[in-house]
Amino acid sequence: MTETIDLADVARRALPLVDLTNLNDDCTAEDITALCKRAVTAHGTVAAVCIYPQFVAQAVRELKGTGVRVATVVNFPAGGTETLDVVAETKKAVEDGADDIDLVMPYRAFMDGRKGFAEEQIIQVKAAIPAPAILKVILETGEIRDPLLIHMASQIAIGAGADFIKTSTGKVEVNATLEAAEIMLTAIEEARRDHQKNVGFKPAGGIRTVEEAGAYLALADRILGHNWVSAQTFRFGASGLLNALIGALDGTNASAGEGY
């Protein structure tokens, strides 16, 4: 009984933090309509939907008045697009109404020692996003792997203007892990302590159960304090997770199912 109450508490806390995601290669307009409907639940709304750029205008129309944000991805998923093209992609998404831009940092260039190139791309993309739209920078930690490099990538993204740093695209073998999350949350705490800069965190890819969500929330609480987590500072990038959260809140313990 105690476990059920705990799971419901975690689910209640996590549901408004979800960036409900469909980044499937075969995604259709009908899928976006279904996603937007899922974003508004009997237990409240998710934070955002996260979709490909070509669907932004549709999602903006379908979510009007709900308070659900529209997030999209650029330089996705490989992080290898030239900066001018990424900036153009970003500007088009913002014109279509995107609230959040999730940019894949040029992580392979970064790993090859081209840290300045990665930093400059983030700076230029940030400059193309007028407030109140925000920039989340995807580090692709499962590919970077090295803890010191993950910490450095976090620092570079934060210094270049990221409003959030995000673990993963969900498109590689290793996506969100608690180990990478701890490194990134520590970098966020360092930025807050040393520069009075508040940056958010988004674990993404492979988080499908209430227990897994609870582990990330507990980690954020430990590093940044119990009052830090909100939709302005913390998001889950997921699709299957929502079913598990609703199941916990309904008392049905529905499985997460498949998804990003």
Q: In a 3-state reduction of DSSP, which class is residue 63? A: coil
Question: Residues near 107 by Cβ (< 8 Å), separated by ≥ 6?
Answer: 79, 118, 139, 140, 143, 144, 153
Sequence letter at residue 177: T
Q: What is the DSSP string of 156-192?
A: HHHHTT-SEEE---S-SSS---HHHHHHHHHHHHHHH
Beta 69-74 vs 100-104: how paired, if at all?
parallel
Two structure tokens written together for 39: 């974003």
Torsion of CA 228, 230, 236, 240, to 10 degrees: 130
Phi, psi of 215 (to 5 degrees): -65, -40
Catalytic annotation, residues? 102, 166, 202
